[in-house]
C-alpha cells in the first residue's frame, strides 16, 4: 500500500513538474512571438 501511495504521489509530482515546465515554455514562446511582432511592427513604420 505504501509503495502504491508513493507511486501515485510520484506520478502527481511529475505531472505538476511537467505542467510547470510546459507553462514556462509557453511563456517563452509567447514572449518570443510578441518580440517578433513588435519588431515587424517597427519595420512597417
pLDDT tens digit sequence for 2-40: 556 566 777 777 788 888 988 999 999 999 999 998 888
State how many domains the chain has. Answer: 1
pLDDT score for 4: 60
CA distance 24 to 13: 17
Q: Which domain holds residue 19?
A: 1-45
CA distance 21 to 13: 12
Residue with cell 504521489: 9
Return the percent helix, strand and coil in the chain, to nearest 5.
95, 0, 5
Amino acid at each position: 500500500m505504501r509503495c502504491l501511495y508513493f507511486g501515485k504521489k510520484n506520478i502527481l509530482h511529475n505531472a505538476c513538474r511537467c505542467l510547470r515546465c510546459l507553462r514556462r515554455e509557453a511563456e517563452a514562446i509567447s514572449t518570443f512571438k510578441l518580440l517578433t511582432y513588435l519588431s515587424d511592427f517597427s519595420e512597417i513604420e
